[in-house]
Every structure is written in C-alpha cells, then in structure tokens.
Structure 1
Amino acid sequence: MINWNGVYPAITSKFTDNDELDIDVFSKNIYAQLEAGVDGIILGGSLGEASSLRDEEKILLLKETLLLVEGKVPVIMNIAEQTTQDAIDQAEKAQRHGAEGLMLLPPMRYKATDAETVKYFKDVAASTDLPIMIYNNPVDYKIMVTLDMFEALASSQNIVAVKDSTRDTTNVTRMINRFGDRYKILCGVDTLAAESLFLGADGWVAGLVCAFPRETVAIYRLVKAGRGQEAINIYRWFLPLLELDINPQLVQNIKLAEVYTGLGTENVRAPRLPLAGDERNRVIKIIEESLENRPQLPDYLNLESAAV
C-alpha cells in the first residue's frame, strides 16, 4: 500500500565500466536511501536513464530492488512509452514482477491533444490494478496536464497522485482548491521542494537525494513536523546542489555528486558522456564547497508530523 507521502528518490541506474548494470553499487545506494528514511523507490525515470535501458534490465532492477527493500518501502516503476499499447504492456510487466505502483508520463515524442492524453492515461489505468502517479512535466515533455484534465481523470480510481514538475508552485494550491485530497501531490522539482511542501504538497520525488539522502529526508520531516526554520536552514545550504537537477546534464551532475558521497560512479550510458572541462570543474566546485559546509542534522527520523 502506497500512501504517497514523504520522499521518493528517482533513483539513478548504475553501470559498470563495461556498460552492464552494476548491482553492487546500486545496492549500496538503495541501502543508504533506506537508512536515511525514504518512503519509496522510483525506478526507470529520466534520472534512471530509462530511455537507454532494455526491458530485461528494467525487470532486473525491479527484482533486485524488491529484494533489497524487503517490503520496507514500496517500489514504483516509471512508464514512458510512445504508444498506448506499449504503455499497457509495460504496466503489465511491472505488476507481474512485483511493482507496487506506477509513475506514468504522457505519450512520448507525439504531442498529444488534451483529449488524447486523458484517454491514454485512462486506458493504461484501466489495464492495471496498480496505483498510478501522473507525471506532469510540460517543460521537458511538452504536455501540460491541466486541472480540467485531472477532473476528467478523477473517475479512474487508481489514478491517485501527481508528480508536479510544472515549475509553478501555485499549481499545488490550485490542485488542493479544486480537488481537496482527491490527489496526492508530490513536488518533482528539487529547487521548489521546500516551497511546495510549505504550500501543502504531500511528498517530494527527489533527484539529489541519490547523493544526499539524509538531508533530503530531513527537510521533508522537519517541514511536516512544523519545524520550518530548521528545514529552511538546511534547504538554503542544499540549494546550489539542488540546482544541479534542473540542467540538461542532470544525470551526469547527480552521478558525479554520488561519487563524492560514496554512493555511486560516474558511468553513464551513451550517448551520454561524463562531464568534462569547465562544466565538470564548475560542478565539482559546487559539490566540494557544499561538503565542506555540510550541516549537522537533528534527529529527524523520530519527528512526528505537526497537527493540521
């Protein structure tokens, strides 16, 4: 059962020098996420280099993750396909192999109309028993899931959450004003997470959590416990790192940060290449300066949420 509250890492896929999945390094990162107190794991997102993963690799990552988490947190599979039938097929495979939820993007490559997008979501939802989080990211994927579209989707009972990457924090309030608690709202943009949580978002689908899991979870737990100033202090320290997530090279950026925190390698899958030159030096400077000033965290794992 997924409650869609908390921090959900969009986990990076790990590769060996020979371009195979690196399960050992992947496992180390998952254990760090669990120890930090994350509330779920999302596989096969854009940060997970989903478009470069073969179907059998996605299933392997799912199976390995289920073994690693041992039921402690739900495992969610991302679905990003070009056709409705392909999305239905991927949803069926994910459910059959043990995924507990889906994150669903609009059709890839084709810029569907509002009506086509709604039907796509509804058809996929009707094909599975799994709960679904709609990924609303018009900046990168060119399709905006509007409030009216969410109204049309409300009849699909297993469409229960939205990852809001609209870059518009007022969308959190608009969703709550229109739908109350019908949809769980999770921020999908690292640099707007604290703002979204203060406005009432239920969770955070995070990127830099892959390298800094404890700081990410601490911010979430402090906000929800009503200890806002402590959360803000950590967030201000974190912001230069979080800005690495809103960049075309977010995968390379975050994997480089994982190297510095001992939670990954720089290996990416072609056509991506590791960072080089001035840009690499710029990112390293941000990471090193942040590590030099890394904050002391309170005992955030034992916080209780403040009464609403």
Structure 2
Amino acid sequence: MTHIFNGVGVALTTPFTNDEVDYDALEQHVNYLLENNIQSIIVNGTTAESPTLTTEEKENVLRQVVSLVDGKVPVIAGTGTNNTQQSIAASKRAKELGADGLMLITPYYNKTNQRGLVEHFTQIANAAQLPIVLYNVPSRTNMSIDPETVEKLSHNEYIVALKDATNDFDYFEEVKERVDTDNFALLSGNDDNVVEFYNRGGHGVISVIANVIPGEFQDIYDAKQRGEDIEEAFKPISKLLEANSVDVNPIPVKVLTAYKGFGQYEVRLPLVPLPEKERQALEAAYKSYQAGDL
C-alpha cells in the first residue's frame, strides 16, 4: 500500500493560555502523542480552531510540530478554504514549512458544484504537489463530494485519501467501489463509527478523541488488523465519546486536553467553554475511563 498513513491520525487541538497559543503545552502534547503510537498528526484543522488562528499562528504551530515530529510520522496541514488561490498559497507555504501532506475541506458558504470541486481540488493539488486528503464534512459545509467526483479526483497522483465525515455507509460503499483502495485511503472523520468503518474495509480515522487516548484508539485498529472482534474492546471508548458529545467540537475535548496539562481550558470566540457542571461531568467520565470503570 502507498497510503499516507493507516490507523489513527489525530486532529490536533491548539492549546491556549491567556488567549495566546501555548507553544510549551503544544510541545508536551505532541511528545505525548508520539510516545503513544499516533500514526499521523493533522495540524490546523477544525479541531485546532483554525478559523480563529492568524496566519502567523498557523505557520508557527506547523513549524513547531514538524520540528518535534522530525519525520517519525506524517504531519498533515489543513490548508483548505473557500478561496482556491488562498488555499494554493497556504498549501505551498505548508510545503515550505515541511508538511508531509495537506487536508483540504470542501468550499463552504460560497459552495460550488461538483465540476467546481474537481477544478478547485485539482488546481491546489497540482500547485502544491503534496499528498492530499480530501475532507468531506457536509454537516459543517452544507455540501458533499459525490462518489463520482471522488473517483475522478482519485486519478490525480497527489490526491491520495478521503476523510469521510458523512457517517453514511451507503456513501462509503459506493466510494470504495469506485476507487483503487490499494492506493487511495478511506479514513473516517467520526470517532464513534470506527468499528463499522474498519469492519467494512476502512483504512483509519482522523480522530478528535485521540488527543487524549491515542494509544488506546490505535490499539482498536491494530486489533482489527489481527482479525480480532473489536466491538467489546470499543465499548468503554464509546461511552467516553458519548460524554464528549456534550457540545460541538472542539469545546469538550479541550476540557480533556487541559485536564492532561496541555494548556488551559480556553477556546476562542465564537466558541465558548462548557459550563462548570458539564465540565466536571466530562472530567469525571474521563477519570472513570482511565480507571477502567466505563
């Protein structure tokens, strides 16, 4: 296989302290992920609160992560926007800073049609000349990449994967039938569906909860590759995910990253922190998970 990665990639959070990016906490977090068998790190995506990061902050975060990772796993930069030329510029800059790949979301607000998607992604891919993960998340963008469009794009040598956050397995099966899965990776964008996703032949996940349980989440994938039944082993994680679904991502998971010492519990507006009662309940669920009580 020539997949950019298999198994668990983490959609990295951005730690803040006093509304500034906390680069010391970022270093601690990345080292923790590397020590716990993460297979890829995705920087400056939705979970990173990228819409509220400045260009300088995005570049500094990417530069630091690339330096810390030092080639151990792929570093994938989120550079997609609803402006093709801006995406090209950001993608080229990410390449200069050492990114191993790019993640490109579909255009949002000024959404296009399927022909426009082909042109948008193709121009970015050909300009950047890095491996590209397409990101299909219609719940956030109000548009989807049709299976036929994924098939067309998969013929581009640089477009190598799809992060599928549709949670639609009919869609998954049609895409799987249309692409060369030896050379094009199908990655889940939903932590809660990975058991079925893996059982149906998915190659991995770009995960939010892996910010705090990277090793345990990778263990599920590894067990599946050994031919084991993973449903029972996933049940405690499923309960933790249920607790983490109390609000929109990344508001809840940053409770857990802060609990582990990776920055303060801060998000940037328009996101707001959980009320204290809900924060305590989520921390309690995580403690129960760690103790083996979920």
Query: Is the TM value for this pair above 0.5?
Result: yes
Query: How far does residue 117 in structure 1 lie from its aligned partner after superposition?
Result: 1.6
Query: How far does residue 248 in structure 1 lie from its aligned partner after superposition?
Result: 4.7
Aligned partner of 1:298 in structure 2 is none
AA aligned opposite 1:214 = G
Deviation string, structure 1 residues 245-270 (Cα, Å, up to 9, x no partner): 65652212001122334444312122
AA aligned opposite 2:292 = N
Distance 1:180 1:51 in 2: 33
Distance 1:239 1:165 in 2: 17
Assess if the C-alpha contact under 8 Å between 2:17 and 2:263 holds in 1.
Answer: no
Q: Secondary structure at the match of 2:205?
A: strand
TM-score (norm 1): 0.88
Aligned partner of 1:59 in structure 2 is 59
Q: Secondary structure at the match of 2:46?
A: coil
C-alpha change, 1:126 and 1:60, in structure 2 (3 Å) is same
Distance 1:290 1:215 in 2: 11
C-alpha change, 1:193 and 1:43, in structure 2 (3 Å) is same
Deviation string, structure 1 residues 190-217 (Cα, Å, up to 9, x no partner): 0011210111111110100101112111
AA aligned opposite 1:273 = V
AA aligned opposite 2:236 = W
Distance 1:198 1:37 in 2: 21
Query: How far does residue 288 in structure 1 lie from its aligned partner after superposition?
Result: 3.6
Distance 1:52 1:128 in 2: 24
Q: Secondary structure at the match of 1:280?
A: helix
Distance 1:267 1:102 in 2: 26
Aligned partner of 1:82 in structure 2 is 82
The number of residue pairs the alignment matches comes to: 292
Query: How far does residue 129 in structure 1 lie from its aligned partner after superposition?
Result: 1.1
Distance 1:26 1:16 in 2: 11
Distance 2:255 2:274 in 1: 8
Aligned partner of 1:163 in structure 2 is 163
Aligned partner of 1:303 in structure 2 is none
Assess if the C-alpha contact under 8 Å between 1:10 and 1:43 holds in 2.
Answer: yes
Assess if the C-alpha contact under 8 Å between 2:245 and 2:252 holds in 1.
Answer: no
Aligned partner of 1:20 in structure 2 is 20
Query: How far does residue 65 in structure 1 lie from its aligned partner after superposition?
Result: 0.6
Distance 1:287 1:279 in 2: 12
Query: How far does residue 273 in structure 1 lie from its aligned partner after superposition?
Result: 2.2
What is the 5 A alignment of 1:1-308?
A: 3-17=4-18, 19-181=19-181, 182-228=183-229, 231-243=230-242, 248-293=247-292
C-alpha change, 1:81 and 1:3, in structure 2 (3 Å) is closer
Q: Secondary structure at the match of 2:17?
A: coil
Query: How far does residue 285 in structure 1 lie from its aligned partner after superposition?
Result: 4.1
Q: Secondary structure at the match of 1:250?
A: coil
Query: How far does residue 102 in structure 1 lie from its aligned partner after superposition?
Result: 0.2
AA aligned opposite 2:269 = A
Distance 1:248 1:118 in 2: 33
Q: Secondary structure at the match of 2:161?
A: strand
AA aligned opposite 2:231 = I
Assess if the C-alpha contact under 8 Å between 1:244 and 1:250 holds in 2.
Answer: no
Distance 1:174 1:286 in 2: 37
RMSD over equivalenced CA pairs, Å: 2.0
Q: Secondary structure at the match of 1:266?
A: coil
Q: Secondary structure at the match of 1:47?
A: helix
Deviation string, structure 1 residues 77-118 (Cα, Å, up to 9, x no partner): 002312111111111111111111000011132121111122
Q: Percent identity?
A: 29
Q: Which runs of 4+ in 1 moved over 4 A?
A: 244-248
AA aligned opposite 2:242 = E
Distance 1:171 1:179 in 2: 13
Query: How far does residue 224 in structure 1 lie from its aligned partner after superposition?
Result: 1.3
Deviation string, structure 1 residues 148-198 (Cα, Å, up to 9, x no partner): 111221332111100010111343332222223242101110001121011
Assess if the C-alpha contact under 8 Å between 1:8 and 1:205 holds in 2.
Answer: yes
AA aligned opposite 1:3 = I
Query: How far does residue 140 in structure 1 lie from its aligned partner after superposition?
Result: 1.6
Deviation string, structure 1 residues 46-87 (Cα, Å, up to 9, x no partner): 100000111111111111111111111111100231211111
